[in-house]
Amino acid sequence: MKIKSFIEIVQETFNLDDYKTIYDICSGKGYLAEKLQAKERNVIAIDIREPKVRINYVIKDIWEDFNLQKRSLVLAIHACGTLTDRVIELAIDSQSDFAVMSCCHNDKVYFSPMTWPDNRIALMQGRDVFVDHVRMYHARESGYESGIETIDPNITKKNRIIWGRYIRKNPGEKPNQKISTLSSTDLQE
C-alpha cells in the first residue's frame, strides 16, 4: 500500500512521460523500481545492497561523488535521516525533479536555507514536520517549486512526501560538471 500510495502522489505531481530516466535511490529491496519498470519506465535503482527483485540497479554509496543524469526524476521512500537530504541534494545538483518520503529524522539539520520555516511548526506539529519544511524551503531557494504531500497515516506514520520541480532560472545556463554520471551503462541486472 505504501508504494502504491507513493506512486499515486508522484503521478499526480509529475508526468512520468517527461523523464528519460527515473532513479529509485536508497531502493532497499527494489519494490518501487519494480512497480515503475512494470509501467515500462526506464528506472535505475541505487542502493548499497543488491535488490531482492529483478530490476536495473547500481550498487553505490550515495555519499560518494557522482552525479545523476540531468533532468531526471529522483524518488526515494523512507531514506533514513540525512539520506533524505542527500537524495534531495543529488536531485538539485542534477536539476532533476524529486519526490522523497522522509524517515527517521535525527538531530542534525543538513540544510541551512536563507529563510527558515516558522518555529511554531515544531511546537505544534513536531520537529519531524519542521525538518521537512526546512528541506522544502531549501529546495525553493535552489530554484524549485516545492511542496509537501501526505499519504494515509494508517499506511505509515512517516507519511510526508517532499517534492520539488526544477524551474529553470536562466535558459542559457550551463550544467554543473561533476566527477561522473550514472547512466544505463552502469547497470547490473
How do residues 52-66 score in pLDDT, each as one tens digit?
999 999 999 999 988
Whether 169 shows a pLDDT value over 90: the answer reads: no
Query: Mean per-residue pLDDT for 8-23?
Result: 96
Q: Other CB atoms closer than 10 Å to residue 34's CB: what's the count?
A: 19
pLDDT of residue 99: 98
Angle at 165 between CA 177 and CA 132, to 5 degrees: 100
Which are the contacts of 93, defined by CB distance < 8 A and separation ≥ 6? 67, 68, 176, 178
In angstroms, the CA 124 to CA 49 distance is 38
Q: Which residues lie closer than 8 Å to 40 by C-beta, 6 or more apart?
A: none
Q: Give me Rg for the CA atoms of the chain.
A: 16
- Summarised one tens digit per residue, pLDDT across range 89-147 is 999 999 999 999 987 766 566 666 677 777 777 778 877 888 898 899 999 999 999 99
Domain layout of the chain by residue ranges = 2-186
Residue 188 has pLDDT above 60, yes or no: no
Angle (nearest 5°) at CA 129 between 123 and 131: 100
Residue 44 and residue 57 in contact, taking contact as beta carbons nearer than 8 Å: yes
Strands 160-166, 97-103: pairing is antiparallel
Residue-wise over 91-129: b if at least 16 C-beta within 10 A, else e?
Answer: bbbbbbbbbbbbbebeeebbbebeeebeeebbeeeeebb
Q: Domain 2-186: which topology? A: Rossmann fold (3.40.50)
Mean pLDDT of 158-184: 62
- Residue 69 is given by DSSP the state P
C-alpha cell at 103: 524517515
Task: Reply yes or no on whether the pLDDT at 180 is more than 50.
Answer: no
